[in-house]
Amino acid sequence: MRVSTLHKAMHNEEDQCLTLSPVFEHQFNPIWFTKGKDTLVSHVHDLGENCASKLYFGDTADITKSKNGIEKTGKDYSFNDALCVLESRIGKKKKPTQNSSMTVNRLLDRLNMRPIFNKMRFVHIAGTKGKGTTAAYTSALLQTYGLKVGLFTSPHLIDIRERILVDNLMFSQHTFARYVFELHERLEALKYSERDLDRDDASSIGYFAFLFLLSLHIFAAEHVEVAIMEVGIGGRKDTTNIIPSEVTLITAIDYDHMDLLGNTIQLISHEKAGIMKPNVVCFASPQQDHPEVRCELEGVAKATQAPFMFLDDSVFPIKSWPRLAVGGDHAIENSKLAFMAARQIAGIPPVLPLDEVEWTVLRTMKFAGRSHVIPFGDDNDCVFYLDGAHTVASLEHATKWFLEVSATPPGNRLIGEEGVSKEPRRVLLFFTLRDPNRILKAFMPFVSKFCKAVIAQVPVMKPESPDVVIRIAELTGVSDPNQDDNSIHWNSLSYLRERLVTTTECWRELYREVPCLPSAQPFGTIDDILNLVVPAASDNEDALKPAQVFVCGSLYLVGNVLQLIKKHITEKHHM
């Protein structure tokens, strides 16, 4: 019996490091949870070997089954066609607005989807850092209580199906496409309504709003009991803010989306606190990076009449906490938020000690692209350390994690044949679309630890599939529904090259002592990265030293590197 259906035996260490979604590492015996002293709540479900797996690259489970385990059949839906449907929604709505929420609200009624809110319970998560990990921790803990859990997050690292999971399983391409078309066809039918408003709403609903409605449609069809919903941008005006949440969570807040949310931390906090609801409990991280956030959140909670608590160490009911597989103080904060939300939903008093299964879930849970270590090469002569940190504070925390963990790398190649310690060659692989003058200052305390920095480009090749267009639009925000694919491509490529030059120049101005290399082209293979890591004679680097590559700044870059490593390993296995 397993706590999660995600665990799968892998053939080698590289494969183990390439899990795409949250995973647990160990098998457990069923453990019964208690509510109060004597009342039985539930136990861990044995989902069976047929459901076990799956969130490895391209390795998915079709979890849509009838009661006797036979897969449902129907029209031969094309996953590529489903991506085209999603692509058609790009550019319809570019900013979170009250009008967007009103549109989705009306569509819930016209599509007869509002009864969904009476069939499941909701946890709503806002914040700047750690929303995804908090959501995944919450989902995992709720699964251990025997509940069927839906998870809606963004963005995705590689595959759009990562955004909508049920019991941490990713749908097969066929099933995902079928659900996309079920919703799409209902919206298309509304375009022939006699009501002008119906036609306008069905035509104008944007990409994120469509995915949000799709998640509700899927969760209802799969009989989900609890849905964990991550905010897209901000909170107050976000499309997800129409859900009748039972618990709200606010993770660490930092400067983010300032063009949309405001140019002060107080304004940003106010927008994110907008998910609070009257009489709905809200738990928030201590906000140690920006203490001034606390006053703003407390003010909104008071005005909203929402029961509110900062999870400070002094008030958190559990004093002994597991050592997490994910590094950094923020990971601890996120796991505690998840614990409080899960206990609230399950009706289990938070003062009760962690049970063995809860403890082990928290201790062993890992996330692709967050505190992610991948040994590479036959002798682990190169190790990738990946983290999607993308704000100043999160980059500072992630760099501290990298320097701590890389001190004892897999295989410990820092110890030479004669037992002499060898300083590694640490290379920063970085990408950002944020203000480089601000974001690069995160590395100021650590820059001397790196032998070079590489400013990357993300792959924005000629769009040969709708998924590429989707990623371009999400990344750059320069798409237009009236442009063809090539126009989107060239606009985006020009914009990304401009950002590459700006970031490189800024690094060279700030840190003259550390060489900075711009990547001339997006990485097409893992060798493209390794060629930049190889020391040049002019750099006076020792080629015999092991290389440690710290990949950060953007989940898009992290996803790109993970995809290239996976491609390399797959090709090697087929040789």
Q: What's the pLDDT at 420?
A: 45
Same domain flag for 247 and 358: yes
The model's pLDDT over 353-400, given as tens digits with 9 standing for 90+, comes to 999 999 999 999 988 888 899 998 776 788 999 999 988 988 999 999
Q: What one-letter code names the amino acid at 111?
A: L
**CA pair distance 149, 165, nearest whole angstrom:** 8
Same domain flag for 260 and 338: yes
Average pLDDT over residues 257-273: 91
Q: What is the 3-state secondary structure (H, E, C) of 358-406?
A: HHHHHHHCEECCECEEEEECCCCCEEEEECCCCCHHHHHHHHHHHHHHC
Cis peptide before 155 (omega within 30 of 0): yes
Classify residue 206: in a domain, yes or no: no
* Residue at which a domain ends, from 347, 364, 381: 364
The model's pLDDT over 115-125, given as tens digits with 9 standing for 90+, comes to 999 999 999 99
Average pLDDT over residues 549-555: 94
* Residue at which a domain ends, from 337, 364, 391: 364
Q: Which residue is it, tokens 């259906």?
A: 5
Q: Where residue 551 sits, what CATH number does that domain have?
A: 3.90.190.20
Nearest CA among 372, 210, 439, 159 for reference residue 218: 210
Triad 552, 337, 164: Cα angle to 5°: 65
Same domain flag for 395 and 278: no
Contacts with 25 (C-beta within 8 Å, 6 or more apart), sequence order: 7, 325, 364, 366
Same domain flag for 354 and 379: no
What is the percentage of the chain residues whose pLDDT exceeds 70?
Answer: 75
Classify residue 183: in a domain, yes or no: no
Q: What's the pLDDT at 436?
A: 93
Same domain flag for 527 and 408: yes
**CA pair distance 416, 86, nearest whole angstrom:** 53
Classify residue 103: in a domain, yes or no: no
Average pLDDT over residues 467-483: 51
| 472 pLDDT above the threshold of 80 | no
- In this prediction, residue 153 has a pLDDT band, given cuts at 50, 70 and 90, of very high
Q: What's the pLDDT at 411?
A: 60
The model's pLDDT over 76-112, given as tens digits with 9 standing for 90+, comes to 779 999 999 998 887 665 455 556 788 999 999 999 9
Q: What one-letter code names the amino acid at 332?
A: I
Same domain flag for 297 and 402: no
Same domain flag for 497 and 524: yes
pTM: 0.81
| 215 pLDDT above the threshold of 60 | yes
Q: Structural domain of residue 297, as residue ranges? A: 13-38+119-170+223-364
| 165 pLDDT above the threshold of 90 | yes
Same domain flag for 391 and 472: yes
Same domain flag for 556 and 471: yes
| 538 pLDDT above the threshold of 60 | no
392-405 and 329-346 are packed helices; what angle lies between their axes, rounded to 10 degrees? 110
Report the length, in residues, of the chain. 575
Number of domains in the chain: 2
| 457 pLDDT above the threshold of 90 | no
- In this prediction, residue 546 has a pLDDT band, given cuts at 50, 70 and 90, of confident
**CA pair distance 259, 252, nearest whole angstrom:** 19
Q: What's the pLDDT at 180?
A: 97
Same domain flag for 495 and 569: yes
Q: What's the pLDDT at 277?
A: 98
Same domain flag for 389 and 318: no
The model's pLDDT over 314-336, given as tens digits with 9 standing for 90+, comes to 999 998 999 998 877 788 999 99
Q: What's the pLDDT at 75?
A: 63
Classify residue 196: in a domain, yes or no: no
* Residue at which a domain ends, from 339, 364, 389: 364
Same domain flag for 346 and 456: no
Classify residue 286: in a domain, yes or no: yes
**CA pair distance 78, 397, nearest whole angstrom:** 42
Classify residue 44: in a domain, yes or no: no
Classify residue 536: in a domain, yes or no: yes
Lowest mean pLDDT among 39-53, 325-339, 507-521: 39-53
Q: What's the pLDDT at 21?
A: 52
Structure-token pair, residue 465: 């599939």
Classify residue 208: in a domain, yes or no: no
